[in-house]
Structure formats: C-alpha cells, structure tokens
Amino acid sequence: MAASTSTANQNDFESFHAHLKGSKRVVALLGAGLSASSGLPTFRGAGGLWRTHVSTDLATPEAFAEHPGLVWQFYNYRRHMSLSVEPNPAHHALARLSKKMPDFITLSQNVDGLSQRANHPPEQLQLLHGTLFELKCASRSCEYRETNFTDPVVPALAIPTDGVDPTSTEARKSANSQLEAQAQGKDLDISDEKVPLPFLTTYDLPHCPKCKKNLLRPGVVWFGESLPGDVLGKVHDYLNQPEKIDLIMARAKGARVCVVNMDANDAPPGGWKEGDWLFAGDAAVLVPELLKPIIGDVRAKA
C-alpha cells in the first residue's frame, strides 16, 4: 500500500499514473467527502445532527409519514445548500475523465446534484441513492416523477432570513411575502435548533399533480428502501462483462484499489492488498492531480 497525504510522495503519484494510463475499465465510487470539499455538510458520523434530530432518523419512510413537514424542511434545506455551492475540481476532473475514457463508470452515493452540474455524462454516472432534485409521488401506486430545481420547492419551505420572523403570520400569508423576505437579508441557518421554524401542515407541502391525492417526496433512497433497480441493473451489467476491471472496485475482477479520503485510517472492504493506494487529503486537490495524465489540467478549458 502506498500511503500519502495531500503533499503525497511523488513515487506514489507516478505509480498511480502509470497504472491509470494503462487502464481501460475504471470504476469510481463517490461518497459525501467529495462534496464536503465544496462546502456541504455530510450529516453522517459524529455530530451528524440537524437541529435536535439525528439526520438519519429523518431519512426514512416512517419519518415522512409521521412528520412530513419536518422531513421536507430538512430536505429543502439540503437542496438549498446544494444549490448554494459549486462543483469542485474533483467533480470536474471525474466528468472530464468520463469523456476521455468510454469504459469509465462512476457510482455515486451523493444526492446533491454536483456531479450532474459538472456535466458528468449521465450514461456514465449511476446514482445509487437517487437525487435531491427529483421529486416523486409518495404513493407506490402512482409512478409520477419530475426533475425539479425550484428553490424553495414550495413557498412555505423558503429558508427564513434575518429580515423576517419565519413564524410570524405575515411571513406565511403568501408566496410573495416569503420570496420578498429572502431578498431582505441573509439566510438563517435552520440546522441550528435556536432558529425558529414554522409548523407546516400537509396543505403547505408539494402535492402530486398526477394522482392529486398524495404528497410529493424527495427522490432519494431512504433507509429501509431498496436501491433503484434500473441503476443496479446497469451496474451489474458493467461489472459482469468478461473484461477485467483495471482500477478501483471489484478485486474479483482483478482491480487495484485507490482510496482518496481525509481519513488516513480508511480502508476498503476486505482490507488493503499489495499495490493499493491511499491518498489522504482533500479530494478537490488530489483527484485532479491523480487524473492529470489523462485529462490534463482541470483548470484549463476542456
């Protein structure tokens, strides 16, 4: 294993570059740390709270059924935060590698839409956990889905600002009052429990325009739900092609593993094998450098 920090040993980079330049089939598995480099909170691990709630407790069908207003406030906040930041150089580097390497595939656990906004080719990007920017009917019997980048999703979910009390009657009278309030001041951090939030009824939330009976919900995979079958089918087809995988993912297919992580103690499932790489540091810095022999300087125009 070649271990390194953000000021990695040059030999480690050269070893990785040599293997990458000889690779055809490469898999990237993306996690929340990639988007953390863009300034997004991960909501996982120690301190993963949103207000007083363990964030993962809000990511269930049961939570949505019991507290749809609160769950929508959490997810609208995440949508708003995602739209307030930009894809970082690692997102752009992976998108550029997709265009240079036809048999490169990215499996993303991220729901923030940053890979898509970096123009990652959709046919080479499989969203394992869905996306915040798809809405779907909460009823399994209704198949309605839509792509939606509206912020807020509905006026009642507008992020309050320091120019208005979000719990006041005036702030909730109309769409105009909420949207005007946004222009009057700085967004308040509603992840802080000290910031008041209005109680929302189902009337305030987005409804399915097809069945007209049920709420819309975020198009993400919640705990207790299956990963999307169409995505799994495409991943299965890729992994089961007879050609070996050259880099990252399935050892059974002969792959070597490269991990980029802020945590130097992070290890792939099954532990380290001879020839693996660990580059510990900021993905936004490391990934463009690792892919540079194929994609060139990510700061240059593609």
Catalytic residue list: 129
Binding residues for Zn(2+): 137, 142, 208, 211
Binding residues: 137, 142, 208, 211
Query: Encoding tokens for residue 39?
Result: 């300034």
Three state DSSP letters for the chain: CEEECCCCCHHHHHHHHHHHHCCCCEEEEECHHHHHCCCCCCCCCCCCEECCEEHHHHCCHHHHHHCHHHHHHHHHHHHHHHHHCCCCHHHHHHHHHHHHCCCEEEEECCCCCHHHHCCCCHHHEEECCEEEEEEEECCCCCCCEEECCCCCCCHHHCCCECCCCCCCCHHHCCHHHHHHHHHHCCECCCCCCCCCCCCCCHHHCCECCCCCCCEEEEEECCCCCCCCHHHHHHHHHHHCCCCCCCECCCHHHCCECEEEECCCCCCCCCCCCCCCEEEECCHHHHHHHHHHHHHCCCCCCC
Q: How far apart are CA 130 and CA 112, in angstroms?
A: 9
